[in-house]
Amino acid sequence: MKYKVGDRVIVRKDLVGGLEYPYSNPLCGKLYFASAMEKFRGEEYEIVASLDDYGCETYSLSLGEEESKWVFNDAMLILVDGLRSLICKRNIK
């Protein structure tokens, strides 16, 4: 799994409701990103659960009352520590 429970992630800002986003494993196809999920874009959340269903990895985020309603895949998320690291490297140059 790319992420683990407890990781802090940001939902990518450029996601478009109504489109599908590929899993890391090409055999899994794509996961639908619903228009109702757009409100989570650009926000930071904690991963509270993960599921690896034959290589098709999905993550549940700390979304409050909607936590059990939505799942995300690798293509929809950015690791916060990874993002901070890139910003620091860019600022040093």
70 occurs within a structural domain = yes
pLDDT band at 1 (very low <50, low <70, confident <90, very high): confident
DSSP bridge pairs for 8? 46
In a domain, 1, yes or no: no
Q: Which residue segment(s) compose the domain that 47 sits in?
A: 8-92
Q: Is the pLDDT of residue 88 over 60?
A: no
Asked if residue 2 is part of any domain, the answer here is: no
pLDDT given for residue 9 in this prediction: 96
Give CA 22 to chain center in angstroms. Answer: 12
pLDDT of 55: 87
The verdict on residue 46 lying in a domain is yes
Mean local confidence (pLDDT), 9-31: 96
Q: Categorize the per-residue pLDDT at 83 as very low, low, confident or very high, splitting at 50, 70 and 90.
A: low
In a domain, 68, yes or no: yes
What pLDDT does 29 receive?
95
Residue 3 lies in a domain: no
pLDDT per residue as tens digits for the range 32-79: 999 999 999 999 999 999 999 988 999 999 999 999 999 999 999 999
Q: What total of structural domains would you count in the chain?
A: 1
Q: What is the torsional sign of CA 47, 3, 75, 10?
A: positive
| Over residues 21-28, mean pLDDT | 94
